[in-house]
Amino acid sequence: MLDQLLLLVKEHAGEAIINNPAIPNEKNEAAISETAGGIFEVLKGQLSEGNAGALTGLFKNTGENNPIVGQISSVVQQQLVTKFNVSSPQAAQMVQQMIPIVMQRLVKKTNDPNDNSFNMDGILSSLGGGKADDLLNSVKGLFGK
């Protein structure tokens, strides 16, 4: 899942990272990787904390009011500030340009039966380290599957 997430972030990192003078070109790949890693770690944290309902809510609504998207934005912003020495306002702007779009695309791809790049089984298995069978079944129940 992390590889697919990395590709998804890369697809939508244009103005936020790649064409942004705050991130030197030689650090673009590292910034993209940190962004994907931040998303993955927050989602994994939600699963490990037993927040299956919150994860399910994410895949039903990725609006800016979603607390997981807010947490992802905060984590990624902090990573950009500390690891790439950009100002907090610059990092906030990068996050605003990228995270909502990436999360919307992740949800759309996950819910699209014709797109097998992401699916709930794979996401939960990846986030749960392959130990998510019981959780997977309960989350599928929340989706009515």
**Whole-angstrom distance, CA of residue 31 vs CA of residue 144:** 37
Residue 136 pLDDT exceeds 90: no
Where does the pLDDT of residue 142 fall: very low under 50, low under 70, confident under 90, or very high at 90 and above? very low
Q: How far is CA 75 from the centre of its chain?
A: 11
Residue corresponding to tokens 């650090």: 27
* pLDDT value of residue 64: 57
Alpha-carbon span 43 to 53, nearest angstrom: 12
29: which 2 tokens? Answer: 């790949």
Distance CA 142, CA 136 (A): 10
Please tell me the pTM assigned to this model: 0.81
Q: Which residue has the tokens 């994907």?
A: 36
Q: What is the structure's pLDDT at 140?
A: 43
Q: What is the pLDDT at residue 78? A: 97
Name the more confident of 97 and 121.
97
- Tokens read off for 84: 């790439």
Report, as an integer, the average pLDDT of 7-31. 93
| pLDDT, tens only, 35-88 | 999 999 999 888 888 887 777 778 776 555 788 999 999 999 999 999 999 999
Indicate the domain borders of the chain.
2-143
- Tokens coding 133: 């069978």
What per-residue confidence (pLDDT) applies to 91? Answer: 96
| Residue 42 to residue 35: CA distance in whole angstroms | 11
CB 35 within 8 A of CB 76: yes
- Tell me what the pLDDT averaged over the chain comes to: 82
Provide the 8-state DSSP code for 65: T
**Residue of higher predicted confidence among 142 and 105:** 105
Tokens matching residue 101: 């779009």
Confidence class for position 141, pLDDT limits 50, 70, 90: very low
